[in-house]
Amino acid sequence: MRAPSTLAAAAMPPLGLLVALQIAAIPLNALVGSIAAFGEEIGWRGWLLPALRPLGAWPALLLSGAIWGLWHTPVILLGYNFNRTDWSGVALMTVGAVVWGVLFGWVRLRSGSVWPAVLGHAALNASAGLLIWLPAAGEPMEMALVNPLGVSGWIVVAAVVLILLLTRQFGPEPELAPKRVAGRRPSAPSATPGAPDDPRAAESGSGLPPGEPEAR
C-alpha cells in the first residue's frame, strides 16, 4: 500500500501545468489587485511624479522611485520581500523601486493617466506568486535574485528600458497625452452657393431678405 504522501504526490497535476496556470492567472490577479495598487499609485505616479517633473523627466523618475522604495523601509526591516532585516534589504528594495519606477513613471507620463501604472504595479505584485513554485520544485530560493524587485527584475526592466531608449521612446521630457478641450460644437457648414441663409428669404422665393427689392 502506498504511503499517503506518495498518493498525494501522484494525485497532483504536473508542476509545469501548475506553473502555466499561475502565469495565466496573473492578468486576473492584476485586475483584482489594481484596487490595492491604486492606493499607492495615486500618490507615487499620480501626484509625486508630476510634482517633481519641473526637475526634468529623468530626475523626476529616479527620485520618485527612490522615495517609493525608502517608504517601504519599516516593513523591509521586518523581513518583507527579501527576508533581510538589515540595510541590504532596504538597498535592494530601493534599487528595485527605482528600476520599476522608471517603467511605471514612463507609462504614466506618456499616457497622461495613472491607470497604466496601476495595472503595471498590480501585475508586478501578482507575479510574485510564481515564487512559491521554487521551494515546491526543491530549488533553493535567494530572494535577492528571484524576487521581481530583485536582480532578476532589474535585468528584465533594464532590457525593456533599453529598447525604449533605442527606439527613441524616451525624450528629454516625456510628453503627457494631449488635454481634452472642453467640447466645442462643430461650426455650421457653409451655406451652399445660391441657397438662402434666411428661412424668410426662402419663403419670399427671391433668395433675398424680406423688404429687399429685387434687381431688375
DSSP assigned state of 46: I
Measuring CA to CA, how many Å separate 148 from each of 21, 186, 191?
19, 50, 63
Count of structural domains, the chain: 1
Does residue 194 lie within any of the structural domains?
no
Does residue 185 lie within any of the structural domains?
no
Hey, what's the cell of 59? 530626475
- pLDDT average per 10 residues of sequence, the chain (216 residues): 43 66 72 87 95 92 96 94 93 97 93 92 82 61 88 95 90 52 52 48 48 51
Does residue 40 lie within any of the structural domains?
yes
Report which of 65, 104, 105, 71 is spatially closest to residue 90, judged by C-alpha positions: 71
Does residue 23 lie within any of the structural domains?
yes
- pTM of the predicted model, to two decimals? 0.68
Does residue 99 lie within any of the structural domains?
yes
The upper half-sphere exposure of residue 182, i.e. CA atoms within 13 Å in the direction of its Cβ, equals 0
Does residue 142 lie within any of the structural domains?
yes
DSSP assigned state of 42: H
Does residue 187 lie within any of the structural domains?
no
pLDDT computed for residue 29 by the predictor: 73
Does residue 198 lie within any of the structural domains?
no
Write the single-letter amino acid at 56: G
pLDDT computed for residue 146 by the predictor: 86
Alpha carbon distance 62, 102 (integer Å): 7
Domain that holds residue 80: 15-166
pLDDT computed for residue 55 by the predictor: 93
